[in-house]
Structure 1
């Protein structure tokens, strides 16, 4: 198969965004978790909450840094590979991304230094306020990024003049038809993915025999969050599906591997292999009418199949069908994990049931995998449009050669695996060390608000240190 410049540009963007989406999601979840921990410490005065706040701040610092780097690289592609899109729709996407920088990124960057290095320099309440501002900043960033991407999915509030998009109603642009559902779905995904990571880390240490109070609290809080948010995500996902049926019916048909509309309701395909050429789903395992019940909440609800759309307007059903099932399958496992945790908690066996702890460790990356699968469902399902129903992806690519995009893609692959591979290794080392017990302050170092050691703050990433190596000594050797 010969890949065109368009194919390579799409692969490059998919590759970079797949790296990028993981780290901001981690930052969104951890920032709020850290704010809750610091608030509990201020309210109760218990040292364990401060120790947990310190530990997860290290993980947050590394994840935040990698998220910023990957985001900068991704944004350059709008000029290098997708200049036609930027020229056509930049009057909307440009301001929305600018608002994200001016509000969210500046808010996060402005208070991040206080959050990481201000323990000895500001009061307790001021430091807590800075932590809350960082958490708010991550949520504001989510708002603007999802507003921009949702407009590409369900464009509204614009007109086209001289071959370019012109915004006429910014309220309609931002709060476009899919935005509320996608914002809620993505934000919940970030919190769920983070809770699974925290639970997996704590479970791993419990399996190793660690019985520190911080480990037990981490597991308990993470599973409590999962118990509330996993069912809520199912509800939000259902609303999102109804919205997709209304505004992007071809995407929904691809998600279900549905080719025929069917006069008496449509089945739900549990398993199958969609064949775009033959216009059928091979080896389909179907449950009659269940598709109508799920998709329309009606026994005889009508859903248009892919054959109702021109071939040129159909997304790749094979990718969308299976990425959607990966997301849903992992979501069901999350529900099972949340339910099992509730039963074990009531029995007083949450921290001693080894099969459940092993399950929690295995599920620790599941939130991020499900998030990536959902993102692939969303973006591949939008094809062949870059702005749904308005601009085709083939018309959005820059006038670049296949060789130029191919070379840059290879460079990205090498550099990303080196840089982010190192970052992931460092994160895993931090998680392996785990939320331990209180560590004494090194000689000569001030104690922030009590007997709690922080980092020296002499290097930009020293806030992420604190003894990754077991034999490190003092604040200076912690990075």
Structure 2
């Protein structure tokens, strides 16, 4: 079962498929964990049960996303040994320890306190529970730190030496804090907060659009919009600095992003809004651009020179068509996020934030924009690095396992598609049911049974569904 493709092409497709599924769950978990910490902090300060009820609701969504992230991440790790054993052999002395640090310092921290966070209400003290929530939130950020450090090193490798065909670490400080790491870490961290902020905003907008006007939905909507305003504005600045870093360390990727073929030595570079890059003819079709703006954005000079794709060997150029458009999808989503934030500020001023059906419809549609931008940005990053798996040192094709065959990879890819469709399809279905139900006020009986300021929590993970959830499941 090789679909007429090589083992190399199928192995890349398989990894792209699994990582695309995986990345959306950690991004959701990182943002929601910090959102939960903010909700609990606000409850501890104000004793307003509204924040407690919101915590209970978003905790369920966080738990499902976290679980699916763990499962999908394990599958990715196995591929390093099955499909990419040569990469593991050559670069494993660098990437292996970095991923181990992630498990030891982050995953154990998250796993150790996750149970207290999810099932500890009313069973541990308030401060102890808040501490557990903080540890989970911090753990997700530490996990992102090590994963981004490993990926950034593959983009801008430093601190190593090539000995007998093996990449050997020489300076761990240079490896961990490689030149692109600070920008990637900031860019990805902000993206994670945008993903969760837009999820909260979109879900709340749906309930407002359907007629709910209670404080739970309004508070979620307002907090989500404030988060999107802060992070979308900050992402513009970080993205600019990340682009300058890419221009310096990965100029061929930047040239592909811009569809830039000829180095502009004596003339300004335009910013292309639309084009169809042609890898064979080494030119763009149907160009539409803004004069001078490309040089100004990329070099901060009106006539700044940017190296073109033709100055690089053909076999070291990424797929310009794919990189060009994935980047523009990401940027387009970002511009819409900024637009939504500006409109929200205007509607707040006009006191129509919760009543403008046009804006609520827009916010509902924007709920998925964070995921679209995240995946488009990931395609830009990873496809733009090709044909290298460790930039400038190890080509992707040289990291492929020698023994793996096209039928083997084709079969496993087919199984992945089938299993993922069933398992994660069920997970998404349940997430949508939770979002559709929305946050609920705690009943007086719950508060009396669990004590003042607490709600009852289950003893077992599968008991996270409350009685109303179970009734809905039976009816459906």
Compute the TM-score of the two structures, normalised by the length of structure 1: 0.96
Instruction: Please say if 1:422 is aligned against 2:426.
Output: yes
TM alignment of 1:190-205, pairs within 5 A: 190-205=192-207
Structure 1 partner of 2:321: 318
TM alignment of 1:446-465, pairs within 5 A: 446-447=449-450, 449-450=451-452, 452-458=454-460, 460-463=461-464, 465=465
Contact 2:47 2:453 in 1 (8 A): no
- Structure 1 residue 436: Cα displacement: 2.0
- Structure 1 residue 472: Cα displacement: 5.4
Structure 2 partner of 1:179: 181
Structure 2: distance between partners of 1:106 and 1:121: 22
Equivalent pairs counted in the alignment come to 471
SS state at 1:121 partner: coil
Structure 2: distance between partners of 1:412 and 1:32: 31
RMSD after superposition: 1.6
Structure 1: distance between partners of 2:108 and 2:380: 31
1:359 corresponds, among 351, 362, 370, to 362
TM alignment of 1:161-176, pairs within 5 A: 161-176=163-178
Structure 2 partner of 1:377: 380
Structure 1 partner of 2:213: 211
SS state at 1:469 partner: helix
1:339 corresponds, among 342, 352, 357, to 342
Structure 2: distance between partners of 1:28 and 1:83: 30
SS state at 1:34 partner: helix
Instruction: Please say if 1:110 is aligned against 2:112.
Output: yes
Structure 1: distance between partners of 2:201 and 2:467: 22
Structure 2 partner of 1:395: 398
- Structure 1 residue 470: Cα displacement: 7.2
Structure 2: distance between partners of 1:199 and 1:345: 15
Structure 1 partner of 2:417: 413
Structure 2: distance between partners of 1:95 and 1:327: 32
Structure 1: distance between partners of 2:459 and 2:414: 36
Structure 1 alignment gaps of length 5 or more: none
Structure 1 partner of 2:351: 348
Structure 2 CA distance for partners of 1:152 and 1:309, relative to 1, 3 Å: same
Structure 2: distance between partners of 1:267 and 1:199: 36
SS state at 1:277 partner: coil
Structure 2 partner of 1:432: 436
Structure 2 CA distance for partners of 1:142 and 1:202, relative to 1, 3 Å: same
SS state at 1:281 partner: strand
Instruction: Please say if 1:330 is aligned against 2:309.
Output: no
Contact 1:29 1:195 in 2 (8 A): yes
Structure 1: distance between partners of 2:19 and 2:5: 20
- Structure 1 residue 439: Cα displacement: 2.9
Compute the TM-score of the two structures, normalised by the length of structure 2: 0.97
Structure 2 alignment gaps of length 5 or more: none
